[in-house]
Amino acid sequence: MRPGLAPVPSGPTSWLRGAATAVRAATRIVGRRDRRTHRSAITAPLDTGGFLGASVAGWISTSPSMLPRTWWMWAVNIGLSEIYGYATGALAGRVVRRVGREIGLQVHIAPDHRHRARWIGGAALVGISTYSWVRGVLRQREISRLVQEEPRPLSTHAVGSAAGIGAFLLALGIARSTIETTRLYRALLRPYLPRRLVTVLSLLLTAATVAIIADRLIRGRVLEAMIERADAANRLISPDISRPTSSLRSGGPQSLETWQSLGAPGRKIVSGGARREQISRAVGREALDPIRVYAAKSGTRTLEDTVEAVVAELDRTGAWDREVLVLFTGTGTGWLQEWSLSAIEFLTAGNCATASIQYSYYPSPLTYLIDRRSPQRAGRLLLEAVRRRLDHLPADRRPALYVAGESLGSFGGQAAFRDVPEMLSTIDGAVWTGTPSFTPLWQQLTARSRPGSPAVAPVIDAGRHIRVVTRPRDLHRNYWGGLYEQWRHPRVVYAQHPSDPVVWFDLSLLWREPAWLQQRVGHDVTPAMHWVPWITFWQIAADMPLSIGVTGGHGHSYHEEMVPIWAAVLGQDVPEGGQREHGERLRGIVRAIRESHPKG
């Protein structure tokens, strides 16, 4: 061996030792290169451009959206808006500095003027922030009045704002830690690789590190916790919900579906609703016991098997002999709106059957993200199976067939049809409630709507078959009060409130102003709502989770308006000269549904 040279290490152990030595050396190099900068990288002062950008975005985030905000909605809006504003402001500041250097522009401010400018800037910042926050609180009270809610207390807005600022600072810390990780990888690789390759590899290694941590945190913790929670909620048998005693309900006596197999939403559906006596009193004539059929997919039963189970239950209960049969596509968890179910049962005096399946037990947002094909397959398979069964019956013995769905159920139910002509030729009517904007059939309809008609209630083919309803009065006149053409059968209603964020949420809100905001229409939406890139997207996203809990007739809460909507779709029009009597009849049904379903 040549004197002065150490032996070359070999074997796995030697490689590990060498790697550990390299890490220690790189760390010492980083510290020697700029020890003070390295220590203060994460806790360095805020970038000036980024700070101004975050401040402006924070002011804008207090602007109104569709629904009154809880504290966490404030936090989401402010936190995400300030993250966006800081990134945009920091980037803009770098561009301005770079351009200034390129053109040789230099700005010098005298020390006394700089001190004065800081005080003026600070005062302006505090004043504008206070003004925007107070204005935002007042706008929230205006929105509460529009949707008939009690205004939130001042503490809600204060706590939410503080939490939003805290979330922004946490995100900033994570971003700076990620930058530090890139610097560490660069220091480790620099002694061994060319500069360009060091830059590329350090970025790739940082991305891989972030991806692994995010996967462990989001998929390994958050997502699995959501799935476990959804599974537990689906299996929970509530003592407040009793098993049906009628053989006309799935899960009841003689049912082919066990009570336990229905899932929590299914058990609530088949045990709910009014009985024959209640319906008879409300409609003033003899009624039948309504049929409610339900089946749930499980680990041992495919979606096709579940559909066959529903058809078997329809056979068992004699549903084919009823006057009306309605197929519902549920939300992600299998939930159905009781107001819609009960409206059909009262309007038909119980001479009806309703059927649905549970294709998933995940909440709708989770279902759409990880399994969006299931609601579409559920809507299509159920309709096809029922149509095949009806085709074997004599034409004069077939019940009138209607379809319905709310939210993700509307998205899935409409997937049973390729286009509008097929829908109108296949069924006797439909009610689609709170339809998401990404629904293909809805996009076809809006593309052919009358030019100049409002985006919140587009006029389609002069209302001959399809009408978009924001409130019951839109059933017979368009949103501006104009007359439709004569309403022909089959009749289809799209019910959607202007303040329903589920209807208007769309990815394009990030970069494009939607037509419904450009037109400034919507009777329960404040005209002070404006579109801002990125910010409006998150405002509406934060509105969605609680939109089903607002007062009926607003947000994603469709209640008593379902009675006149179903009356119109079923063909129970206002008799000649009988507007008052018809209105009294519908109001009586609304009162009866409230009594039979007080928690609705």
Q: Are 74 and 157 in contact (CB under 8 A)?
A: yes
Q: What pLDDT is recorded for position 213?
A: 81
- On average, the pLDDT of the chain sits at 88
* Predicted confidence (pLDDT) per residue in 142-167, tens digit: 999 999 999 999 999 999 999 999 99
Residue 15 has pLDDT above 90, yes or no: no
**In 250-302, where do the E strands start and end?**
291-296
* 429, β-bridge pairs: 402, 491
- Choose between 385 and 32: higher pLDDT: 385
- Dist CA 276 CA 255 (whole Å): 19
597 pLDDT more than 80: no
pLDDT above 50 for 38:
no
The answer on pLDDT for 575 being more than 60 is yes
Tokens 């916790």 locate to 225
pLDDT-derived band of residue 589, with 50, 70 and 90 as boundaries?
Answer: very high
pLDDT (tens digit, 9 = 90+) per residue, 517-543?
998 778 999 999 999 999 999 999 999
Domain boundary assignment for the chain: 14-232, 236-505+544-596
Phi-psi region of 520 (alpha: psi -120 to 50; beta: other; left: phi over 0): left
| Mean pLDDT across 254-265 | 94
CB atoms within 10 A of CB 528: 13
* CA dist., res. 173 & res. 176, Å (int): 5
Q: Are strands 400-406 and 352-358 parallel, antiparallel or unpaired?
A: unpaired
The yes-or-no verdict on residue 249 having pLDDT over 90 is yes
Please give the average per-residue pLDDT across 273-300, as a whole number: 93
* For range 268-282, the mean pLDDT: 93
What pTM was estimated for this model as a whole?
Answer: 0.87
pLDDT tier at 263, thresholds 50, 70, 90:
very high
Supply the pLDDT for residue 332.
87
User: Bridge partners of 412?
Assistant: none
Cβ-count burial 262-274 (b if 16+ within 10 Å, e if not): bbbbbbbbbbbbb
Sign for the CA dihedral angle at 564, 565, 571, 573 comes to positive
Q: Is the pLDDT of residue 369 over 90?
A: no
**pLDDT band (50, 70, 90) for residue 1:** very low
At residue 312, the pLDDT reads: 97
What secondary structure does DSSP assign to 197-220, as a single string?
HHHHHHHHHHHHHHHHHHIIIIII
Q: Which of 77-86, 185-194, 447-456, 555-564 has the lowest mean pLDDT?
A: 185-194
* Res 120: pLDDT: 87
pLDDT (tens digit per residue) in 410-435: 999 999 999 999 999 999 999 999 99
Q: What pLDDT score does 6 carry?
A: 41
Average pLDDT over residues 353-366: 90
Percentage of the chain exceeding pLDDT 90: 66
Strand-pairing partners, residue 18, are none
Token code pair at residue 159: 């706590």
Mean pLDDT is highest, among 179-183, 215-219, 563-567, for 563-567
Is residue 582's pLDDT more than 90?
A: no
Angle at which helix 338-347 crosses helix 276-283, to 10 degrees, equals 60
Number of neighbouring beta carbons within 10 Å of residue 284 = 10
Q: What is the pLDDT of residue 2?
A: 40
Confidence band of 42 (pLDDT split at 50, 70, 90)? low
- Per cent of the chain over pLDDT 70 is 92
Quick one: pLDDT at residue 367?
82
